[in-house]
Structure 1
Amino acid sequence: MQLRIYFNPAELNFVETSVEDIYIVIDVMRATTTMTIMFEQGARHVLAAQTLDQALEAGQKVPGRILCGEYHTETPPGFDFGNSPAQFAQMDLANQELVLTTSNGTRALFACPNDSIRLAGCFYNGNAVAAAALALAQERHSNIAIVCAAEYGYFALEDTACAGYLAQELLQQYPDLAIHDSTHGAITIYENYPPATLLEKARSSQDLLALGQKKDLEYCLSKNSSTCVPMVTGVEAETGLLRLAYPATELVSI
């Protein structure tokens, strides 16, 4: 079993990917942290949209869903809520369906092979997502890939540091895991930029602090606070949205 880390979803265009591999998608600040908290608060589904227009159109086709979105950290016009994990942590989302689109994280889910298993990973569910990925990879005799959402196509320090943290978690749980050079690089970055340092140094942290979103950062930089592991379970035919669930009891062929 092998582990490879991609620091930007665009890297997937230049390698031979396998639909059998397990993909952990990371957008620490904030999409994958937000998804995890949505399920903690009882959401039935989170439906990931690739673009703002796709999300808005889907909201019109299926009334009653909560429309959530973010573009350059702001809530777009026409959306019910933004992408704040702290806000969703205070909400009762029991049995709700939420549509979510973000500048980076939801797009990274779409960048992975269409038929692949995709898990939403972050510091917040680090131990749990590592365990889930290993169990699935062992069951399918496949490899694991960690995909950093990056920031508008550029390297994101917090996503790479989180990838290094997840790599350590994976190696702790499965020491025989074969690792690529990218894994060594991500682990080195995590060791030099743990969450406390990311709060001070990461550009995304500074942007959120400037908007008064310090509480979001408390969730985004908290390690192993959740056992929820959001997982893509299919594509909704009517809208083209990726359907995520937890627990993933309804996995279908995509």
Structure 2
Amino acid sequence: MIRIGDGRKSDSWAEINVVVDIFRSTTTIPMILFRGAKYILPFRDVRKAIEFKRRNPGTILVGEKYGIKPPYFDYDNSPAEIAEADLSGKVVAFTSTNGTYVLSRIRSGRIIFSSYVNLSATVAMIRSQRDVLILPSNRPIGKAPEDILFANLLKLMAEGHEVDVSEYTRKTEEINRNIIAGVGERDLEFCLRVDHTNIVPEYIDGRIVQSPDSVALTDA
């Protein structure tokens, strides 16, 4: 069974929990791994991420807080920026307003991250699973319609329904135009890019890595 919850309010979990934050965390996270990062360490607190880099100077800092790149960070929470970065073999410390908050709330089950950039790979990974919870990250002040829209798309596709993905990306673009602080054009283009990668990130033992299941899909 595939359910849709609320990343900020749900208090029961599934065997596989899918975090969705289209603008921009769950678009950026697959891109970080796609660009060669060894793994990602998620932080809710900016200061703790900076302190980690002080102790581990080779760390790359990526993220934002309330839409703004923090001081000392190497990259914004920007899939467009990350697409041009060489992260080969690097450890990335990552923080964001919504995605890492939702991650911190989940208490059981596997945790994976999905967006348009890894849509088909996510569908392939969850469609045969018996217990899946899709978690739109939403926002501190309320719902995020782009996350809810994608969650419904992911559910329909995983259940085997035929859908017009371009209609969902078109609606997502419209949503961005109506957000007071929407994402910029370069990031929007990446947030709407379908199946850019087969990588499905998974949170395992405190690190976000390429899911072993998505490795199998990529090799197939």
- The residue type equivalent to 2:169 in the other structure is P
In structure 2, the partner of 1:11 is: 9
Identity %: 26
Distance change >3 Å, CA 26–CA 204, structure 1 → 2: farther
Contact 2:63/2:70, CA 8 A, preserved across alignment: yes
Counterpart secondary structure, 1:63: coil
Q: Where does 1:64-213 land on structure 2 (aligned, <5 Å)?
A: 64-113=58-107, 115-134=108-127, 137=129, 142-172=130-160, 194-202=168-176, 207-209=181-183, 213=184
Note the alpha carbon deviations across 1:125-152, whole angstroms, 9 max, x for none: 11101212345x3xxxx40000111012
Distance change >3 Å, CA 204–CA 232, structure 1 → 2: farther
- The residue type equivalent to 1:25 in the other structure is V
Q: Where does 1:54-65 land on structure 2 (aligned, <5 Å)?
A: 54-65=48-59
Distance change >3 Å, CA 205–CA 196, structure 1 → 2: farther
Counterpart secondary structure, 2:196: coil
In structure 2, the partner of 1:232 is: 203
Q: CA RMSD in A?
A: 2.4
Contact 1:232/1:245, CA 8 A, preserved across alignment: yes
**Rounded Cα–Cα distance in structure 2 between residues aligned with 1:155 and 1:247:** 28
How many pairs are equivalent? Answer: 212
Query: Structure 2: any 5+ residue segments left out of the alignment?
Result: 214-220
Query: Structure 1: any 5+ residue segments left out of the alignment?
Result: 176-186, 236-242, 250-254
Contact 2:176/2:182, CA 8 A, preserved across alignment: no
In structure 2, the partner of 1:42 is: 36
**Rounded Cα–Cα distance in structure 2 between residues aligned with 1:228 and 1:77:** 29
Contact 2:7/2:19, CA 8 A, preserved across alignment: no
In structure 2, the partner of 1:239 is: none
In structure 1, the partner of 2:209 is: 245
In structure 2, the partner of 1:219 is: 190
Distance change >3 Å, CA 65–CA 221, structure 1 → 2: same
**Rounded Cα–Cα distance in structure 2 between residues aligned with 1:110 and 1:73:** 19
How far is 1:234 from its partner?
0.9
More moved, 49-58 vs 91-100: 49-58
Note the alpha carbon deviations across 1:106-128, whole angstroms, 9 max, x for none: 11111111x42110100111110
Contact 1:68/1:79, CA 8 A, preserved across alignment: yes
